[in-house]
A = this chain, B = another copy of it.
């Protein structure tokens, strides 16, 4: 078109020719494409117990990728040719919640059916999206193990409010989609859960690490030990990262913020440790409400966690 300084349809931003921003690694999925990681947005949070705009998070986290480059100095390695296949966001229904949950499951399943990647990132949404997501992974891969980063057990009863963001792991276990012994919970906090659900985790054989455990043992040793254990019984390990596992000072944009959680450095080293295990092949990041955040600090942390999952493999 021969314009000197215009490129219709493209944003006009300053570009250093030697820098690749991580968002440049993303490519919308097209038939037959392949990429190291498949990415999908699960923008659904209407079933949150408290009103949540976590459904906006996929947009914000993707946008934060442009604040990171593809180069790791620690490893002296540039991931500029790494390809993230972006399957886009699932279109949910404005008023039919069951329908929306089903659409999430179907969509994750359709993504997996393409066999376009070996590893996947799923961006919630509230934690409710992990139920259809992990279910879809189970349908595709069989027995799977889950490491859940969370201040909360998320095994609430289903009678009091249906499938909310407090129930995903109950739903998975009750539905036979996940075995209790294949679920590890890290970062569980005092005065953030109920005895009956604590008892439920015991009864189902869920392995629980509290914040005292993290303080005393360190997050990396915990993760390494559990990956070892899980990898003996499952072939596929899924990380489910509820960002409220992080202290409110480091992740102020979660709906259920609170003090006494892990730091941003602990999160990033923990994810790196997990991501380097060959059986860790999927990660969701949930419970970020961008409307409550400050300067997208929480979405930036989520994007940084994505990079550890993708590149510190």
A23 close to B (CB within 8 Å): no
Q: Does A15 contact B (CB under 8 A)?
A: yes
Q: Which of B15, B74, B189 contacts A190 (CB 8 A)?
A: B74
Give residues 153-211 of A contacting B (CB, 8 Å).
156-157, 159-164, 166, 188-198, 208, 210
Q: Is B71 a contact partner of A191 (Cβ separation < 8 A)?
A: yes
- A73-B103 contact given A51-B56, A161-B94, CB 8 Å threshold: no
How many copies of the polypeptide does the oligomer hold? 6
Given A95-B161, A295-B252, A297-B248, A192 and B68 touching (CB < 8 A)?
yes
A69 at the B interface (CB under 8 A) = yes
Nearest B residue to A156 via CB reads: B16
Contact of A160 among B1, B7, B17 (CB under 8 A): B17
Q: Are B295 and A49 in contact (CB under 8 A)?
A: no
**Min C-beta distance of A45 to chain B, whole Å:** 8
| Residue from B73, B247, B252 within 8 A of A264 (CB atoms) | B247
Chain B residues lying within 8 Å of A22, measured Cβ to Cβ, are 191
Residues of A within 8 A of B (CB): 1-12, 14-20, 22, 28-31, 40-41, 43, 45-49, 51, 53, 55-56, 59, 67-76, 78, 80, 86-97, 103, 106-107, 110-111, 156-157, 159-164, 166, 188-198, 208, 210, 212, 215, 247-250, 252, 256-260, 264-265, 267-268, 291-292, 294-295, 297, 300-301, 304, 307, 311
